[in-house]
Structure 1
Amino acid sequence: MITEFKLPEKWQQRWDEQGFSEPSIIQETVYGPLVKGENLVGISPTGSGKTLAYLLPTMQNVTPDEGNQLLILTSSQELGIQVAEVARQWGKDLGLNVQPFIGGANVKRQIEKLKTKPEVLIGTPGRIVELIKQKKIKSHQLKTIIFDEADQLFLPGASHLVEEIVRSLQQEVQFGFFSATADQALPAIQAIQPDIQVFDVTKEDRSKGVVKHTYLIYPSRRLVDGLRRLAHIEAFQGLVFFNQLQDLGSAEEKLLFHHLRVASLASDQSKELRKMALELFKQGKIVELLTTDVASRGLDITGLPYVINAEVPLTKESYLHRAGRVGRMGASGQVVTIVQENTLPRLKKLAKELDLPLTEVFLHGGALLDEQPEKEVHQPKERKPLKEKTETRAKQTPVKAKPKVKNRKKAQKNKGARKSKK
């Protein structure tokens, strides 16, 4: 029971039905301040339950049938879709209308949804700015704004959208900033809220399951062969990350040629294709989902056993968020980074900066092994002994062939044949 949360009875029932025993540290830490309407930054590891950490307290402060009140900004379309699904589950118990407004979707349909006056809005910054400019979202009614994956939202190229949303507000609102690496965005956050509280529970959090961090030495020219062999491992399913979109496309084409159950999740795809690929992967109908860092944030795939880095991630933050797709809420998992002799030092440097134990694995016999398999020594085939010659044959003297007579006369040639005709 989580009576200290003072959840509504329907929510307590849902909490128990979903198998939660007790709140994670980040959920317990920020619940009280958010319910009271305080501004804060919440920092905790990937997979520690940050979505419910901000949804449960803030949704309780929303009043049904009073229009747009809670806005949740997400750094990607996938994250927005996922947060909307979770918010709808819990929101319906309180009679709240939850609607997603993400880029890539039909804007006219979204405008129609806004006519229903949803209390909870979830969206990507670009689309939210567009709807505010068209005066379809009533920003003056907003009471709370949550920034999910805040460090991504404040990156150059995206921060101006966030700033535009903040400028559109006509009253004081509550702010909540969440990410595993939100500390990197603190200067930008403090520019909005100078004295904001920071709750970093990274060191205290124990929600992370056992995750093995490993590397596989494999020739870069045979990368697709390595991915093909990994896909045939028993009970294998993995998110495969690439640094470049073009490398992803090339690998997907070759793997599909081998009739493997793979799909891609890329930024240049439509919302429908991305949603379908993710859903098929969650259902276990796809063995490998090829993607870039677009899928490294916030995606919650229950029981995912493997994350595969097709190459060394470009930054330690990238590695951290990719690895966060496994080991979520106590589950175990394995991260495998494919390297070559010249890229291995860069991976070891990342692991050292993140204080992660790193071990080598070997792909052999349809399995990933922790120890190098012994090389098979091919013994020469034993030659069958020749049959012993019989004593009689041993004593036989070889018949000497008659020497050929060169330059025989025509009359002497084929002499035997002429005799038989007589």
Structure 2
Amino acid sequence: MKFEEFNISDSLKQAIREKGFEKPSDVQEQVIPVALQGKDLVGKSKTGTGKTAAFAIPLIENIRRGQTFSALIITPTRELAIQVKTEIASLSNSSGIKVVAVFGGESVQKQIGLLKIKPEIIVGTPGRLLDFIGRGNLDFSKAGFLILDEADRMFDMGFRDDIEKIIGSFPRERQTMLFSATMPETIKDMVDRHLKEDKIFFNLSEDDSPVDEVEQYYIMLNRNQKIDALQDIINWDNNVKTLVFCRTKRTVDWLEKQLSRRRINAIALHGDKRQSARNAILNKFKNMQGGVLIATDIVARGIHVDNIGHVVNFDALDETETYLHRIGRTARQGKRGIAVSLCSNVMELENLERIGRQINAEISELR
């Protein structure tokens, strides 16, 4: 199937072509036709599957230009809000539909100013959304579309009550789409209470999982050998980007300095940096030829950067979900990628082997 076959406007098809999209991902092929019909839906879907376009394309097609605050997409983080807003804007340029992102860490007055352009689509994080609803800057009483992106992540971050309040500001008659990498009972309960009885469920996490496209390796070494090993991985192909994950902000900053001393073009990203600085860092990384981004798990979900060929777990980890979200930054949209975990003791290796068994993946030793 091709995007040309969807029942959407010619201008939207043109925007899709300009982005270089030809064939929809499995998620897009299943979700878009149902969403275009206005049905409520629940998608169990990991990142890296084209999920954003899956809900953005029907949204742009079904929204009427000039209907202010027609749609809301709730995201767990500022980074994901910016990414979703950018994706929607790139698809809606020719339609005249406006989209604005609101989130903490940036000027309230600046974002209030953006709302004065009367955008049809709002993307935002729960805290800032509730703030603006309380101030009267946002009014969703006549909105027709609500999308919860990475719902499990928002629940994990303690936003459950905030989300309930935001949903309460919407009319009962609306289209609701919920996407989540996992489906715990708390999410199922919300789905039962807030989505229509004829909602459609999609389990998109297995067949379209990016893990299958990632070659996964580990290296056993002493801690003082890690930087040499990382440099070797970076040098495998200087034309692809490398994303390096560390456990702490302190290690991120330290590693950036160590790589810079070796004349490796590396930049650091973590939660201590101001939002404007984080945005600038991500944009710089996106525009680099190759390059290295060193980060904490703040960017492990929802950040879409093209041409990340290598993901390196500089610090070992023991959570399966975190591992999946880290390596999911590579091998996106059908491309292949490589993930390497640096293990410095038997316990770290045993944890990695356990993760491999849980996700049914072969993680081979790299010598």
TM over 0.5: yes
Write the distance in 2 (CA, Å) between the matches of 1:245 and 1:191.
39
Contact kept in structure 2, 1:24 and 1:207, CA below 8 Å? no
Q: Give the gaps of 5 or more residues in structure 2.
A: none
Q: In the TM superposition, what is the alpha-carbon distance from 1:330 to its structure 2 partner?
A: 1.2
Partner of 1:420: none
Amino acid at match of 2:151: A
Task: Give 1:199's match in structure 2, choosing from 199, 202, 205.
Answer: 202
Task: Give 2:285's match in structure 1, choosing from 275, 281, 288.
Answer: 281
Write the distance in 2 (CA, Å) between the matches of 1:279 and 1:209.
28
Pair 1:148–1:34, CA change in 2 (3 A) = same
Give secondary structure in 1 for the equivalent of 2:294. strand
Partner of 1:109: 110
Pair 1:306–1:92, CA change in 2 (3 A) = same
Contact kept in structure 1, 2:80 and 2:302, CA below 8 Å? yes
Partner of 1:355: 360
Q: In the TM superposition, what is the alpha-carbon distance from 1:156 to its structure 2 partner?
A: 4.8
1:52 aligned to 2:56? no
Task: Give 2:250's match in structure 1, choosing from 243, 246, 250.
Answer: 246
Contact kept in structure 1, 2:241 and 2:289, CA below 8 Å? no
Partner of 1:263: 267
Pair 1:219–1:143, CA change in 2 (3 A) = same
Contact kept in structure 2, 1:209 and 1:330, CA below 8 Å? no
Partner of 1:305: 309
Write the distance in 2 (CA, Å) between the matches of 1:304 and 1:286.
8
- 266-275 vs 15-24, greater mean Cα deviation: 15-24
Contact kept in structure 2, 1:43 and 1:200, CA below 8 Å? yes
Question: Equivalent residues in 2 for 1:229-240 (5 A)?
Answer: 229-235=232-238, 237-240=241-244
Question: Equivalent residues in 2 for 1:66-145 (5 A)?
Answer: 66-145=67-146
Q: Which structure would you say has the larger Rg?
A: 1
Give secondary structure in 1 for the equivalent of 2:83. helix
- 305-314 vs 316-325, greater mean Cα deviation: 305-314
Contact kept in structure 2, 1:208 and 1:329, CA below 8 Å? no
Question: Equivalent residues in 2 for 1:203-222 (5 A)?
Answer: 203-205=206-208, 210-222=213-225
Question: Equivalent residues in 2 for 1:15-34 (5 A)?
Answer: 15-34=16-35
Q: In the TM superposition, what is the alpha-carbon distance from 1:351 to its structure 2 partner?
A: 0.8
Write the distance in 2 (CA, Å) between the matches of 1:198 and 1:350.
27
1:266-308 Cα distance to aligned partner (Å, 9 max, x none): 1221122111111121122562211122111122221211001
Partner of 1:160: 161
Pair 1:217–1:295, CA change in 2 (3 A) = same
Contact kept in structure 1, 2:76 and 2:125, CA below 8 Å? yes
Partner of 1:344: 349
Contact kept in structure 2, 1:149 and 1:182, CA below 8 Å? no
Give secondary structure in 2 for the equivalent of 1:162. helix
Q: In the TM superposition, what is the alpha-carbon distance from 1:183 to its structure 2 partner?
A: 5.5
Write the distance in 1 (CA, Å) between the matches of 2:356 and 2:105.
36
Pair 1:328–1:171, CA change in 2 (3 A) = same
Higher RCO structure, 1 or 2 (CA under 8 Å, sep 6+): 2
TM-score by length of 1: 0.80
Contact kept in structure 2, 1:147 and 1:153, CA below 8 Å? no
Q: In the TM superposition, what is the alpha-carbon distance from 1:182 to its structure 2 partner?
A: 4.5
1:331-387 Cα distance to aligned partner (Å, 9 max, x none): 11100011123210010001100111110113xxxxxxxxxxxxxxxxxxxxxxxxx
Pair 1:52–1:208, CA change in 2 (3 A) = farther
What's the % identity of the aligned pairs?
29
Give secondary structure in 2 for the equivalent of 1:154. helix
Pair 1:331–1:161, CA change in 2 (3 A) = same
- Segments of 4+ in structure 1 off by > 4 A? 182-185, 206-209
- 111-120 vs 158-167, greater mean Cα deviation: 158-167
Write the distance in 1 (CA, Å) between the matches of 2:318 and 2:75.
22
Contact kept in structure 1, 2:330 and 2:338, CA below 8 Å? yes
Q: Give the gaps of 5 or more residues in structure 1.
A: 363-422
Pair 1:327–1:232, CA change in 2 (3 A) = closer
Give secondary structure in 1 for the equivalent of 2:308. coil
The number of equivalent residue pairs is 362
Amino acid at match of 1:219: N
1:313-338 Cα distance to aligned partner (Å, 9 max, x none): 33111111111111111111100011
Pair 1:259–1:204, CA change in 2 (3 A) = closer
Write the distance in 1 (CA, Å) between the matches of 2:279 and 2:17.
29
1:331 aligned to 2:335? yes
Contact kept in structure 2, 1:75 and 1:149, CA below 8 Å? yes
Contact kept in structure 1, 2:245 and 2:295, CA below 8 Å? yes
Pair 1:103–1:96, CA change in 2 (3 A) = same
TM-score by length of 2: 0.91
Amino acid at match of 1:358: I
Amino acid at match of 1:172: E
Pair 1:300–1:185, CA change in 2 (3 A) = farther
Contact kept in structure 2, 1:64 and 1:119, CA below 8 Å? yes
Q: In the TM superposition, what is the alpha-carbon distance from 1:255 to its structure 2 partner?
A: 3.0
Q: In the TM superposition, what is the alpha-carbon distance from 1:221 to its structure 2 partner?
A: 4.0
Contact kept in structure 2, 1:26 and 1:49, CA below 8 Å? yes
Amino acid at match of 2:161: H
Q: In the TM superposition, what is the alpha-carbon distance from 1:157 to its structure 2 partner?
A: 1.9
- 350-359 vs 220-229, greater mean Cα deviation: 220-229
